[in-house]
Structure 1
Amino acid sequence: MYYDRIIPMKEELSIDIIGLAGAYSYALDCIEAELVNIKNKHGKRVAYISICMAEYWKIQGDELQDLAMCALLHDNALTQYISEELKKDSVINCKKDLSEKKTNLHCIYGEKNITKIPFKTDVSNVILYHHEHADGTGPFQKKWNEIPLFARIIHLADTIDIIGNNTGSGNNSWNFICQYLLKNRDGLFDSECVNAFFHAFTHSESFICLRDNSFETKLWEIIPRQKQVFDWKTCKNVADFFAKIVDYKSSFTSRHSIGVAEKAAFFAQYIGYDSINVQKIYLAGALHDIGKMAVGNEILEKPDKLTDDEFSKMKNHAGYTYLILSEVNDFEEIRDWAAFHHEKLNGKGYPFGKTAAELNEPERIMACIDIYQALTEDRPYKKGLSHEKTCEILDDMAQKGFVDSDISKKIRECFGGI
């Protein structure tokens, strides 16, 4: 609704898209860790194993970057899958389904979602078939010669990282991985991919960097973090892709991030921001709650009042947003606009206790729009408030020194006639 009222913009925004994918891979790891025993940086390790294997085929340039992007986001539909397909089951059943069946539904969702990302090469069916087996016994019964190479690479890398994560460390883990690959050659994995793995990792020492996290430096050395220039439509697609991942985390906030993004951009344009800053604030709105991926749903969806300890954990989400988005190159401005949405002018907000002197206008806008969206949207436990009632609450908060009174007044004007 609000997006349709934003005047089309011609100026283009530069974004470290690979860095943003890497940041979000951490958020996805947090979700997977709730259900199966996956350590942080799973997505980055899968990406590193994948690009090391790619050297076997001399894959370079744009193709190598797109392989890394697919690997980082191979489980992009995890929150959507859990929300739409597994909520009716117990957590135990969720774990069993994710770890044993590897159902094709999250692959279908993920393939559809990934079309919003501006890849430079054709990555069709890579996410869709990344759980297929070489012998045709996978979810879609596709044999290895019917599966894109990138999907086959990611399948092996994903499986190996999970095995390595659950078999200890050192030579015992390496030996188990070697035996597992040889045993499942031409079954789970095609011979070519097995050969590529052993070409890239010749002994346990070459694999050890995955244990001490030194691999991440090597990952970004192989995959340059070059900023790409996007038009408004592409920028919005990228923002919406990542916002959707966050919003599916909890049914309580099913469209919150996209709602904040749309209203923040509409408001920024209303008060005269130029097109670049309108795009930046849209992106900040879409990303502002990424830190909630690190907070358990038992807290996010608790219908009763949170205990002090639970509220403390809930408040951590803004700090996680700051830390996660700090991974993206030249993203400090958007990161701060996103992460400071719970700061208050009187210094009593979180996560950093910023004061009025430390909060600029876009950060103040995000704080007000986040409140406005939260109050006006329907949630399972409450009906959204009217525009007038919401503005009364914002005005009261402004009088108490929590939010900017000028922005509160302009919000009343901006959204009053819609």
Structure 2
Amino acid sequence: MELDVLGLLGACSYALDCVEAELVHVTTFHAKRVAYMSVCTAEQFGVSGEALQDLAVCALLHDNALTQYLHEEFRGDSSAAECLPELPHLGAHCVMGEENISALPFHTNVENIILYHHENADGSGPFGKTWQDIPLGARIIRLCDLLDAFCRADVFTPDVWERANAFLTRVRGRIVDEECADAFLRAFSEQHFCSLGGRGLEERLWSKVPRTKQQLDFAQVKALAKFFAKIVDYKSPFTSTHSLGVADDAECLARFMGFDEDTAQKMYLAGALHDIGKVAIDNKILEKPGRLTDSEYAEMKHHAAYTYYVLSEVQDFAELRDWAAFHHEHLDGTGYPFGKNESELNTQERIMACVDIYQALTENRPYKAGMSHEKACSILLDMAEKGWLDRAIVEQVNACFA
């Protein structure tokens, strides 16, 4: 399968920003600003081509394991952690993040960049490594991540620039190394730095690291899908296996119904991505075991639209985006987010709607045991009778998963 991998991972950075904004209060586009600052700084060291592209990916994904860490450290209770730098065992999320990206399709060796991105120049970080002991990419991301977190600004003004300079002066040689601090200041004048809060940041990032498509085999597609699913599902342990469950079901049913290999692989990826918009929904709503209020339900419904808009950033991805995002649409036009009707929903979109419900009904969750296949199919059939689902596909679900 040919994919705009960098664009897909860039879209993922928005999802990570949503999580970090909720948990540790970073500002909008944090990951992309860190990536852009990292790329500009790395250019001062002569980094270019595929190495620069891979650094951009690592910067975009530097905190990919944050929700996983918070879930495992605090058993899902992020309220116990008010500020990320003060969290215990901070190196644990670096270890998890390094492992998560290990199967992604990089061009160059990125070993230890995520692992050591919280190390301090003087060796006082989680692993006790000094700046001479860690990769250049980790040193650069450390500086840019720390600086953006310190500034915590959506609008970059000369005052923010002055504060950033004063902060660099205080931490250079101790938290960030002198070489990286000097390279950053060569890359960023006051005018360049102040442009970080303006429009066009993404376009400038992609102009420095062009988004060329990559040909991936199914093992690589699955690794990419599992990476995304982990981010979504770790945000809410109430649905800790849902995304990959939908991915497996979508692939299996597509093969059962006679679709070709390429379509089956695409269905797997779309299934893994279908709920990525849930990262923008408050966990109090995601994890409410009882019935949602009207206002809570209205907010929950936004997740499908968020999925649509997040995946719209990926080049030539409209087909998979729609398969992923339309899983709550109904044939009679009463679904959401766009109120699509029977004439506007293709077979793959109808399949996704069925397998999403089937998986949700049959999987175990903390507040309920999964239903039997027979009970789940009876509910799907009732929804088909109401005009919401495609009856023929419901019958295929019954036959495939019996």
Distance in 2 between the 1:396 and 1:101 partners?
48
Aligned runs of 1:323-362 on 2, under 5 Å?
A: 323-362=309-348
Q: CA deviation at 1:99?
A: 3.6
SS of the aligned residue for 1:317 comes to helix
Aligned runs of 1:237-256 on 2, under 5 Å?
A: 237-256=223-242
Whether the 8 Å contact between 1:167 and 1:173 is mirrored in structure 2 is no
* Map of 2:99 onto structure 1: 112
* Map of 2:281 onto structure 1: 295
Aligned runs of 1:383-398 on 2, under 5 Å?
A: 383-398=369-384
Aligned runs of 1:48-63 on 2, under 5 Å?
A: 48-63=36-51
Amino acid corresponding to residue 220 of structure 1 in structure 2: W
More displaced 10-residue stretch of structure 1: 392-401 or 157-166: 157-166
Rate the CA distance shift 1:328–1:90 in 2: closer, same or farther, 3 A: closer
Matched, 1:188 2:175: yes
Matched, 1:17 2:10: no
Gaps of 5+ in 1: 1-12
Gaps of 5+ in 2: none
Whether the 8 Å contact between 1:376 and 1:390 is mirrored in structure 2 is yes
Aligned runs of 1:12-91 on 2, under 5 Å?
A: 13-87=1-75, 89=77, 91=79
Distance in 1 between the 2:173 and 2:115 partners?
20
Q: CA deviation at 1:208?
A: 1.4
Q: CA deviation at 1:303?
A: 1.4
Whether the 8 Å contact between 1:21 and 1:69 is mirrored in structure 2 is yes
Q: CA deviation at 1:279?
A: 0.8
Distance in 2 between the 1:118 and 1:222 partners?
19
Matched, 1:159 2:133: no
* Map of 2:109 onto structure 1: 122
* Map of 1:170 onto structure 2: 157
* Map of 1:304 onto structure 2: 290
* Map of 2:391 onto structure 1: 405
More displaced 10-residue stretch of structure 1: 81-90 or 193-202: 81-90
How many residues were matched structurally?
401
RMSD of Structure 2 on Structure 1 (CA): 1.2
SS of the aligned residue for 1:378 comes to coil
Amino acid corresponding to residue 79 of structure 1 in structure 2: T
Distance in 2 between the 1:350 and 1:82 partners?
31
- Once the two structures are superposed, residues 133-182 of structure 1 have per-residue CA deviations (whole angstroms, 9 ceiling, x without a partner) of 00000111100000111000001010111122259742221111112112
Amino acid corresponding to residue 168 of structure 2 in structure 1: L
Amino acid corresponding to residue 372 of structure 1 in structure 2: Y
Distance in 1 between the 2:253 and 2:197 partners?
46
Whether the 8 Å contact between 2:155 and 2:197 is mirrored in structure 1 is no
Whether the 8 Å contact between 1:36 and 1:99 is mirrored in structure 2 is no
- Once the two structures are superposed, residues 354-381 of structure 1 have per-residue CA deviations (whole angstroms, 9 ceiling, x without a partner) of 0000000000000000000000000011
Aligned runs of 1:189-228 on 2, under 5 Å?
A: 189-202=176-189, 204-228=190-214
Distance in 1 between the 2:152 and 2:381 partners?
52
* Map of 2:272 onto structure 1: 286
Matched, 1:267 2:263: no
Q: CA deviation at 1:88?
A: 6.0
Whether the 8 Å contact between 2:71 and 2:78 is mirrored in structure 1 is no
Amino acid corresponding to residue 215 of structure 1 in structure 2: L
- Once the two structures are superposed, residues 74-99 of structure 1 have per-residue CA deviations (whole angstroms, 9 ceiling, x without a partner) of 011012112111236561x3123x14
Rate the CA distance shift 1:345–1:167 in 2: closer, same or farther, 3 A: closer
Amino acid corresponding to residue 382 of structure 1 in structure 2: K
Equivalent of 1:370 in 350, 356, 363: 356
Amino acid corresponding to residue 108 of structure 1 in structure 2: V
- Once the two structures are superposed, residues 303-359 of structure 1 have per-residue CA deviations (whole angstroms, 9 ceiling, x without a partner) of 121110000000000000000000011100000000000000010000000000000
Per the normalisation by structure 1, the TM-score is 0.94
SS of the aligned residue for 1:380 comes to coil
Distance in 2 between the 1:270 and 1:325 partners?
27
Whether the 8 Å contact between 1:19 and 1:327 is mirrored in structure 2 is yes
Per the normalisation by structure 2, the TM-score is 0.98
Amino acid corresponding to residue 373 of structure 1 in structure 2: Q
